[in-house]
Structure 1
Amino acid sequence: MKKQLETHRNIKDDLFYWLKEYISSKVLTSKIDDGYKGEINRSIRSQAVKDAKHIKELMLITIDFRNRGQSDLRNSTLPNKYFYDYIVGSKNLKSIKDIDTTVRDKYFSLNPKNHAKSTQNLHMVAVNSFFKYIEENNTDDFRFNLGRKRGGQKTVSPIVASGEKKSAYLNTYDLRYFLKQLELFSFKMKNTSKPKLMTKILIFGGLRGTELLKIRRGDISLVDNLGSVTKSKSKALKGKFFRIYVQGKGNKERVVYIAAKHIKEDYDNYLKDSEECINNLFFCTEGNKKYSINALYQQCNRLLSKLGMTEQGQKGSQILRHSYAAYLALKNVDLADISTLLGHASQDVTELYIHISKEDLRDVDDIWKDI
């Protein structure tokens, strides 16, 4: 049910009211952690959020919920609590209607909590989501239009304007070089096809590291001549492809397709020289144990570091995933399709992945065909 935008007629109380409504909605929909399913009454928790009398009580309630089965609440509560503190402490803002793109951008430019740029990007997504919620649920039909000018044009992110890249990725030539060197790299493990196959799936499939390690034997198969794989494209996929069922964040499933020519040789060699893994996983250690995510990060970092391609503060698997997203964007793939292929819940998150340097915004041949 929609509510009046300014029930209290002062910015502190109105913003606090909407923050409770927003977090309450997240309590009703956020993922329940393993081990807590069936133990959490979402309705009771949601009401407890709405009953909070002040911001400190609200944060104590959400911290308790995060510690007892809803850890994902952190992503929506903390960023907006910090922004709330900034707004309430600003003497120039009298009404919630005074909050606009300029106010938001000033906050993120100041960076009062001295967050890393990657953290700021995620926090801005959370703040945008909060005000989008208010837009969709107020009877006044008031719009903040965060991220847009008065004329409707999209603004440049204040975080990008700092001169730092949002995300590191390999350009066309680096990627070709990386794949060539991958074939020559001296791996210590017996089955050298395994690390090569893992790395190529990350590159050509755009998977998260955690998603790669969850793949089971039955999740990957070779298929022929597929129909359309995206809603907005009618073009069918011709030839042989590996189809991979991926379990993403929040247990959301999606399907990834990789041209057979990119991974078939390593796939066949890996299966020929490997034994079945624990819990029917597709990848495991040589001791038949589950791969740790840190081990995968280290493996990717070693490869990139050896070639001088690491980016400070980013994990190797993230760089490969960002490269995948960047080249989809260079090929003019719709943002909605890229978001689906990456398994993102929001296109706002996808935009953080495809901040491409001007030197790479040029006509290129089909990158996957050229490599």
Structure 2
Amino acid sequence: MNYNEEFKRNILIKLAENININFENQQSVERILVELLQDYTVIKNETALTISDIPEKITMYLQAKKLEGLSDLTLQNYFYFLRRLSEHTHKQVRDITLNDLRMFLFKECEGVKPSTANTKVCYLQSFFRWMVDEEIIDKDPSRKLPQVKLPKRLRNSLTIEDIERLRLACNDTRERALIELLFATGCRLSELVGINVEDLNFQDNSIRVIGKGNKERIVYFNTKAKVHIENYLKERQGYGEALFVTCKRPYNRVGPRGVQKIINKIADKAGFDKSVFPHLFRHSMATLGLQNGASITTIQRLLGHSSITTTEKYTETNMESVKYEYKQSMTL
């Protein structure tokens, strides 16, 4: 059966399913179709035979990003997301359109937060920009994908009083050392869990950490943090290379989820009615540092930001600062 016959048959089937017509009318429709199709050749789109090259390009992209120093977790997030794109769009990358990406994102972003939707847009744009740079495709179909406008909210950092409450709620030397180190250094969670004992320098109170993009930098801790780290090391079980280890054998390195659980436990004991998480210490260190006179470039270096714009997002002036400055400067 040629495609003309298949097309005619499918038309008749659809009409019979959707329109209540008798056999005689069906015959009339068939005669009309035969007459019209004499001057045409129907060609069927063989989409099922199209072999997509998206998986191949994903592999190349992830290999390139790994060489740039992206973490395994970030690469994994890219992989799972782009694999879903491959499953959704059975095309060659050069044939993918803006509308294809819109339809994919419509499905992906259903019910997610605006910030999550923006992350997914960034994943797509990074992937397609790379293919343009590598001259795999000529045009970037993701270029016109819009970012969702996020509501601007003031960042609420921990106060000095909050920090003291958390300190008093610590049960052991490990909890206290962890709290002090997070607040003193402003380390990211991934940086904290990666610290080894040999990275500590007690001569100048510094630590060598590995940040985003596998970049190494030096952070500093104060005397209070030094005392509690030393106390913890004296009591710490096991002799592995990791600084923070579990309390039970085989004394493995504490992972990101383990740190979060420790902080949740301390915050619950301290009676906090707001969420307390590792990154909040990082933001609080930056905010309080600026309030106490540290320059924004110093905070930028300590936090390991490549752009000062990123630092400004962490250090937006909160209402307590506005109230304090008003009392100091505007009350006449």
Bin of the TM-score, shorter chain as denominator length: 0.5 to 0.7
* Contact 1:304/1:316 (8 A) holds in 2: no
Q: Are 1:270 and 2:232 an aligned pair?
A: yes
Q: Are 1:181 and 2:144 an aligned pair?
A: no
Following TM superposition, by how much is the alpha carbon of 1:114 offset from its aligned partner in structure 2, in angstroms? 3.5
From the superposition, tell whether residues 97 and 327 of structure 1 become closer, same or farther in structure 2 (CA, over 3 Å): farther
Following TM superposition, by how much is the alpha carbon of 1:301 offset from its aligned partner in structure 2, in angstroms? 1.1
Distance 1:144 1:84 in 2: 15
Within-5 A mapping of 1:138-287: 138=135, 142=139, 146=143, 157-158=147-148, 161=150, 163=151, 170-171=156-157, 174-185=158-169, 187-189=170-172, 191=173, 194-224=174-204, 242-247=205-210, 252=214, 254-261=216-223, 263-271=225-233, 273-275=234-236, 277-287=238-248
* Contact 1:246/1:254 (8 A) holds in 2: yes
Q: 2:263 aligns with which of 300, 314, 321?
A: 300
Structure whose CA Rg is larger = 2
Distance 1:107 1:325 in 2: 38
Give the helix-richer structure, 1 or 2.
2
- Equivalences, count: 265
TM-score by length of 2: 0.56
Distance 2:129 2:314 in 1: 22
From the superposition, tell whether residues 118 and 327 of structure 1 become closer, same or farther in structure 2 (CA, over 3 Å): farther
From the superposition, tell whether residues 129 and 269 of structure 1 become closer, same or farther in structure 2 (CA, over 3 Å): same
Following TM superposition, by how much is the alpha carbon of 1:196 offset from its aligned partner in structure 2, in angstroms? 1.9
Q: 2:13 is matched with which residue?
A: none
Within-5 A mapping of 1:39-50: none
Distance 1:321 1:109 in 2: 34
Helix, strand or coil for the counterpart of 2:111? Answer: coil
RMSD: 5.2
| Identical amino acids, percent of aligned pairs | 15
From the superposition, tell whether residues 199 and 285 of structure 1 become closer, same or farther in structure 2 (CA, over 3 Å): same
* Contact 1:322/1:354 (8 A) holds in 2: no
Q: Are 1:128 and 2:125 an aligned pair?
A: yes
Distance 1:85 1:74 in 2: 17
From the superposition, tell whether residues 211 and 131 of structure 1 become closer, same or farther in structure 2 (CA, over 3 Å): same
Unaligned runs of 5+ in 1: 1-12, 32-69, 149-154, 225-241, 366-371
Helix, strand or coil for the counterpart of 1:245? Answer: strand
Distance 2:206 2:52 in 1: 47
Unaligned runs of 5+ in 2: 1-48, 325-332
Within-5 A mapping of 1:68-147: 73-83=75-85, 96=96, 98=98, 111-115=108-112, 119-138=116-135, 142=139, 146=143
Q: Are 1:25 and 2:27 an aligned pair?
A: no
Following TM superposition, by how much is the alpha carbon of 1:298 offset from its aligned partner in structure 2, in angstroms? 1.5
Helix, strand or coil for the counterpart of 2:272? Answer: coil
* Contact 1:206/1:321 (8 A) holds in 2: yes
Following TM superposition, by how much is the alpha carbon of 1:130 offset from its aligned partner in structure 2, in angstroms? 0.6
Greater displacement, 20-29 / 124-133: 20-29
* Contact 1:135/1:144 (8 A) holds in 2: no
Helix, strand or coil for the counterpart of 2:124? Answer: helix
* Contact 1:220/1:245 (8 A) holds in 2: yes
Following TM superposition, by how much is the alpha carbon of 1:201 offset from its aligned partner in structure 2, in angstroms? 1.6
